A and B are shown apart, each in its own frame.
Chain A
Amino acid sequence: MFAAMTSVALVGVRPRQVRVEAHVTKAQEAFHIVGLPDTAVREARQRVLAAFAASQYRLTGRRIVVNLSPADLPKGGTTYDLPIALAVIAASGVESIPSVVALGELALDGKVRPVRGGLGAALVAREVAQICVLPAESAGEAQASGHDIAAAATLTEAINVAKGLDGGAPIIPAVGPSTPATELAEVRGQLTARRALEVAAAGGHHLLMSGPPGSGKTMLAKCLPGILPELEHDARFEVAMAWAAAGRPRPVGAPPPFRAPHHSATMAALIGGGSGVPVPGEVTLAHNGVLFLDELGEFPAHLLDAMRQPLEHGSVTVARKGASVEFPASFQLVAATNPCPCGYSGDRLVSCRCGPRGVDKYRRRLSGPLIDRFDLQVRVSRLDSTELAGPPGESSDRVRARVIAARDRQMRRGHLNRMLSRSDLDGVEWVSKARQLLERAVANQALTARGWDRVRRVAMTIADLDDAEVVSEAHAAEALMYRGSV
């Protein structure tokens, strides 16, 4: 007569429980789905009935009512086909199925197809201590939850595993986008930029590189994930959740994510959105990892503006009619830019075609609140042939060891240096010579008031890399080198 299953809806990246109730009576044949279903959910009737037929279940001459609760939660997609089918079969008394957590689309031939939210379903299953039945392809990402997953390839199989019988093995997703980080030893020369990358990694600072085309800015950026410490359990889990919400399975032990959206990306692709239920964007896929914006000056102003919320709060809010969802977006920003439209301003060999006016105009496009977020700003030059043939640099592993040590020091104080506020910085003891050096830089107009905080944050990280208790003059001096142009 009556049965209920549990399923999930993703709100942002967080799973919310959805109860799928079915009431089946012998009456004039009907099939109703109630509880704020969208078109795809309403169409579940046809898919479920076809799958029943394909799986040799006959449910003729019955009135079926399916309720999805809570009703105020927007529910979309084909996610609920499987729990609806299970609930209806249980309610009609054809099979006795206990309440389980299930998710999946049904094909007309009774096969189960993958959907987004496998990890979320597994988390809910762990919470309510029920068996979790997922399509085999969605079961891979769910392993990050640590909960046992029952994978099913067909509706019949799903009913069997829900009853506690053995099911098929989860299909581990093919490792898609996670290419390994570039090895730092492959970068020749560029000593300043290499060091800046190390400092950025150690303090979690945002890094801006400016230099002509072909100077290796992208390559340097791609090295960053390789010198970051491995993600800890919680952080790794957050990444898995973010990626799962985007419907992109991600292998468990992968290095911190590295995302490099192109400047022609749309707002929805970068920040999140899309029609219907919002899907996370690049900033969320880069959560706990690195977001690389190449050609920063080419990004339209509204996209750069939209970056401010994630940079400030570590999350983005995507507002939709009826519901606004929050996605995590705490990433380390690395950006590269040409110094001018032609790219050769300040180059040693090629002369710039833009003129001082053009260079100024280009720089002004980048100025403003976003540029102040970059604690480290360095210039990168093109290498000549002798430098390209030079000896390989230090390996990523060795640099990472120093980064990890420096981060340990910071975590003992509470958080990464990137997060240090002005009042935090004011409370830090400095040797007087270091302070004098920075004051002199301010007096010489080499350093602005905003630059002052940035340099102090970076100096703290340099001291941490040096395993020093206090910031010395040398630490402050080196930090000044990364202040960028005023």
Chain B
Amino acid sequence: MSLDARLRLAFGGMHPDRTRRLLDQFGGAEAVVARLDGGALRVSDRIRAAVQVPAADRRRELDDLRHAVWFRGEPGYPESLAMFPDAPDVLFTRGELPIGGRVAVVGSRRCTAYGRRLAGEYGAAIGISGWVVVSGLARGVDGAAHEGTLRVGAQGIAVLGCGLDVDYPREHGRLASALVDAGGLIVSEYPPGTPPEGWRFPPRNRIISGLSVAVVVVEASVKGGALITAGTAMLQGIPVFVTPGDVTREVSKGCNLLIRDGAHPVLDAADLIAELELVLGPVQPARSNANERDVSPVLDALMEHGSCGVDELSQRVALAVPALLAELARLEADGLVEGDGITYTACTTAQLPGR
């Protein structure tokens, strides 16, 4: 039962590089597990105890948590990821793998409002185009990208650096459930209950890029996880798109460095989608529910004039204030407009072909 051995080994929760070295060295999970059971390998007691639990118990545990398991090379495991030599042997998943081209959106946890906004916009734009956003559920850019996807009712994938049942960062626990509820997926190579330890995060970046056909970096410092993802993407031969930023700002330096090194600069959401179409094929124009909305004079006015205050807008579209406010709220809920209660702006995603 090779799968059982692989599952038991995955529950050990070792560093991915170590797991892979052991597998290469002894030629398979059964041999590794046998040596662990026999005490021939030096590992911590915690890992040894975790590996000793029978596979059947582990499967019950996963069933209780509603988690599924993917084994590399078996049906269900995405082939695009399996082909990379450092792909994880086992992946724990919750939810379903969404259909559609997968695009990673990554960036700094300490992003600026500019980064948050762009990440949300790109997340929404990719979702609107019928593609799937892959990211890391971290604070900052990752979270904003996932939120953007959810806002337009699209599916996304979050790759975690801890167990799937661990809410990290705590405030993103709801976001993870929302992703799953919306028909998306959360995935991790670490077993349930694994705490978020710093060394676990860099390896998961290879899964983010490996799952994706393109990587978009929104804001990244020179020493950040996002740059690791961009690096693994380049090694994996996956195109990298980058948002240019302020040359003096720390969280833009990584991005600007990537541009200097040949990554593709992205100008706005529409530009990004046009570039992605070259990789993923043309977007199917207008999904069925998009036609339901009649043309909105408010949206037209905002597209024409850029940002606009409510007072000014009410003059331009000749609409009574209650009706105008209601229309703005609807557009905001649809992710077409954003505002702070005073001024409103049409999102660039409003002009996308998939809309």
Contacts and interface: CB of A to CB of B under 8 A. Distances in A.
B325 A478 contact: yes
B326 A478 contact: yes
B130 to A, nearest CB: 19
A248 B343 CA distance: 45
B314 interface: yes
Contacts of B310: 191-192
B332 interface: yes
A444 B311 contact: no
A481 B321 contact: no
Contacts of B89: none
A481 B333 contact: no
A195 B341 CA distance: 13
B182 to A, nearest CB: 8
Interface string A350-376: 000000100000000000000000000
Contacts of B322: 195, 462, 465-466, 474, 478
Interface string A61-88: 0000000000000000000000000000
Nearest to A211: B342
Given A190-B311, A443-B150, A444-B147, A477 B329 contact: yes
A379 to B, nearest CB: 4
Nearest to B312: A387
A465 B322 CA distance: 10
A36 interface: no
B249 interface: no
B113 interface: yes
Contacts of B335: 444
A481 B329 contact: yes
A289 B150 CA distance: 43
Contacts of A462: 322
Given A346-B340, A378-B341, A381-B342, A191 B314 contact: yes
18 contacts: A191-B321, A192-B321, A195-B321, A195-B322, A348-B342, A379-B342, A380-B342, A381-B343, A437-B333, A441-B333, A443-B182, A444-B333, A474-B326, A475-B326, A478-B322, A478-B329, A480-B329, A484-B341
A374 to B, nearest CB: 14
A174 to B, nearest CB: 41
A308 interface: no
Contacts of A191: 310-311, 314, 321
A445 B143 CA distance: 12
B329 A444 contact: no
A478 to B, nearest CB: 4
Interface string B51-82: 00000000000000000000000000000000
Nearest to B340: A346
Closest 5 pairs (CB-CB, A-B): A379-B341, A477-B329, A477-B326, A474-B326, A480-B329
B250 to A, nearest CB: 15
B323 interface: yes
Interface in B136-177: 147, 150-151, 174-175
B147 A445 contact: yes
A481 B178 contact: no
Interface in A128-151: none
B311 A387 contact: yes
Interface string A382-395: 00000100000000
Nearest to B335: A444
Most buried by B among A441, A478, A484: A478
Given A356-B113, A441-B333, A444-B150, A481 B342 contact: no
Given A191-B311, A381-B342, A446 B333 contact: yes
Given A195-B325, A379-B341, A446 B311 contact: no
B161 to A, nearest CB: 22
B328 interface: yes
Most buried by A among B113, B309, B327: B309
A481 B328 contact: yes
Contact of A348 (B321, B332, B341, B343): B343
Interface in A428-486: 437, 440-441, 443-446, 462, 465-466, 473-475, 477-481, 484
A194 interface: yes
Contact of A477 (B113, B150, B327): B327
A192 B147 CA distance: 27
A189 interface: yes
B287 interface: no
B177 to A, nearest CB: 11
Contact of A346 (B175, B329, B342): B342
Given A195-B321, A443-B150, A477-B333, 10 more contacts: A192-B321, A379-B342, A437-B329, A437-B330, A440-B333, A473-B326, A474-B323, A477-B329, A478-B329, A481-B329
A444 B340 contact: no
A479 B332 CA distance: 13
Nearest to A462: B322
A387 B150 CA distance: 38
A200 to B, nearest CB: 14
Contacts of B325: 192, 195, 477-478, 481
A184 to B, nearest CB: 13
Interface string B333-345: 1010000111100
Given A190-B311, A477-B327, A445 B342 contact: no
B340 A379 contact: yes
A191 B175 CA distance: 35
B154 to A, nearest CB: 12
Nearest to B112: A356
A387 B310 CA distance: 12
A158 B273 CA distance: 92
A157 B176 CA distance: 82
Nearest to A437: B333
A59 B123 CA distance: 95
Contacts of A437: 329-330, 333
Contact of B330 (A387, A445, A473): A473
Interface in A192-227: 192, 194-195
A480 B182 CA distance: 22
Contacts of A190: 311
A478 B330 CA distance: 9
Nearest to B307: A348
Contact of A481 (B147, B174, B309, B341): B341
B108 to A, nearest CB: 14
A441 B329 CA distance: 10
A192 B314 CA distance: 10
Contacts of A192: 310-311, 321, 325, 341-342
A466 B325 CA distance: 14
A475 B335 CA distance: 19
Most buried by B among A195, A356, A378: A195
Contacts of A480: 329, 332-333
B180 to A, nearest CB: 13
A477 B331 CA distance: 9
Contacts of A465: 322
Nearest to B334: A440
A339 B341 CA distance: 12
Contacts of A189: 311
Most buried by B among A380, A446, A475: A446
